[in-house]
């Protein structure tokens, strides 16, 4: 379900109707100069945020020498000598 977008002026003049729409499950995005600034939703409405943390868990491994990988090349890029 997509959100309806209204500008601040419309939100001020039709606030009661927007609150009723939110109560009925609609999501209203309030925009200023076309840029979204606030969201009006029913209290207790479930958030549909997608958690991205750990989405590739178990699908890759990090080698034990990861921190030392390409150390000489990195040091050379900063004008330093080889890393011991």
Per-residue pLDDT reduced to its tens digit, 25-84: 999 999 999 899 999 999 886 666 666 777 778 888 888 888 888 888 888 888 887 776
| Statement: residue 1 has pLDDT above 60 | no
Q: What span, in angstroms and rounded, lies between the C-alpha atoms of 15 and 2?
A: 19
Average pLDDT in the 10-36 region?
94
Q: Which residues contact 30 (CB under 8 A, 6 or more apart)?
A: 5, 6, 7, 8, 11, 36, 37, 38, 39, 40
Average pLDDT in the 2-16 region?
93
What kind of fold does domain 4-40 have according to CATH?
Answer: YefM-like fold (3.40.1620)
> Residue 36: what pLDDT?
94
> Residue 16: what pLDDT?
96
């Amino acid at each position: 379900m997509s959100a309806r977008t209204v500008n601040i002026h419309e939100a001020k003049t039709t606030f009661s109707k927007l609150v009723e729409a939110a109560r009925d499950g609609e999501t209203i995005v309030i925009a200023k100069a076309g840029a979204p600034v606030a969201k009006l939703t029913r209290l207790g409405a479930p958030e549909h945020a997608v958690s991205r943390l750990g989405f590739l868990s178990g699908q890759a491994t990090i080698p034990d020498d990861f921190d030392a990988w390409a150390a000489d090349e990195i040091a050379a890029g900063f004008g330093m000598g080889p890393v011991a």
